[in-house]
Amino acid sequence: MSGEAKQAGAFVKQKIIWLTKSNNESMVRATLAKLRRGIGKPPGSQPDLWNITLNGLPETLMSKSGEATRGEWAVHTALTLYALHQQGKNLKEHCMNQEGISLGAAVRKLVNSNRDNEEAVRRRFLSAVVSDSFEKFCWLLRGVIQLLKTKNIPLDYPMLTEDLYWFQFPDWQDSVRLKWGQDFYRTTKSEEN
């Protein structure tokens, strides 16, 4: 299973790199717009997204039953939320994917950038992470991503993909929550000064 989570994260990384390196700006904008229309919808339900969410997806992540796998859900959710986060920003100059910034760390940066709304941001984050279903979590995560977008705070989407994969297992949800909580409350050197 950990191999599948890593494969899903690597797939998302590959797709973001492909978008970033493309010189066809109109294709990139159109692809991101299509991805945004897929937010909240099941993987595979939007045929115009198949090229980006399924093309090249490792066989081990693909459904054999016609019901989306955890890997397909993680990839689809991460890519559609990335497209929302990237909306209105130049992909080459302000890529909203940045390696090493977990969801918890990104929300901490959001709180630090907006002390007036610290409690509101914290409440929104907490209500998302304690969701009792993956679907509800993804719906509430969308609001968190929109807040990150307004402050230009990037996130590691391959890492988020892996987290989304594990969050779908009830026995692993608390481990993912712990990681996000640790990253949220971890003090960095710049915050100590």
> What would the pLDDT profile of 15-62 be if each residue is shown by its tens digit?
999 999 999 999 999 999 999 999 999 999 999 999 999 999 999 999
| pLDDT of 4 | 95
* Distances in whole angstroms, Cα of residue 38 to Cα of each of 2, 21, 191: 26, 23, 37
* Distances in whole angstroms, Cα of residue 2 to Cα of each of 5, 54, 162: 5, 20, 9
Sign (positive or negative) of CA dihedral 47, 137, 105, 178: negative
The DSSP bridge partners found for residue 155 are: 97
- What are the tens digits of pLDDT across the range 87-126? 999 888 899 999 999 999 999 999 988 777 788 888 889 9
d(CA 50, CA 48): 6
Q: Residue 183: helix, strand or coil by DSSP?
A: helix
pLDDT at 189 over 50: no
Structural element, H or E, at residue 182: helix 173-185
For the residues 60-86, what does the mean pLDDT come to? 96
pTM of the model: 0.93
DSSP states of 44-105 as a string? Answer: TS-GGGHHHHTTT--GGGS-SSSS--HHHHHHHHHHHHHHHHHTTS-TTTS-SB-TT--HHH
Among the listed residues 130, 133, 142, 139, the one whose alpha carbon sits nearest the alpha carbon of residue 178: 130
| pLDDT of 118 | 82
Q: Residue 155: helix, strand or coil by DSSP?
A: strand
pLDDT at 192 over 70: no
For the residues 159-183, what does the mean pLDDT come to? 95
d(CA 96, CA 86): 6
